[in-house]
Amino acid sequence: MSWSGTMLSSCKLSICRLSICRLGAPLSSCRLSSCRLSSCRLSSCKLSSCRLSICRLSSCRLSSCRLSIWRL
């Protein structure tokens, strides 16, 4: 329930593109200042490929984001 990284409670992942994020780079390096992790679902995305462990997977939705680019 705790955010171990930058608080992204005021953004929208539906309009956010994680393609700007680099593999192995922390969320602090990604420009997610205009997304909302609190209203997205990371359960449908490959967390093992992206560094989004700072957000709650059970309350996220990244189906709108292009996480298909994330490959280990």
Tens-digit pLDDT profile for residues 15-67: 344 443 444 445 544 444 334 343 343 434 444 334 444 343 333 444 434 44
Task: Identify the three-state secondary structure at position 11.
Answer: coil
Q: What does the alpha-carbon distance between residue 23 and residue 11 come to, in Å, rounded to a whole number?
A: 21
What pLDDT does 35 receive?
Answer: 42
Fill in the amino acid letter for 6.
T
Q: Do residues 62 and 53 touch, judged by C-beta distance below 8 A?
A: no
Fill in the amino acid letter for 21.
C
Report the 10 Å Cβ neighbour count for 58.
9
State the pLDDT confidence band at 13, using cuts at 50, 70 and 90: very low
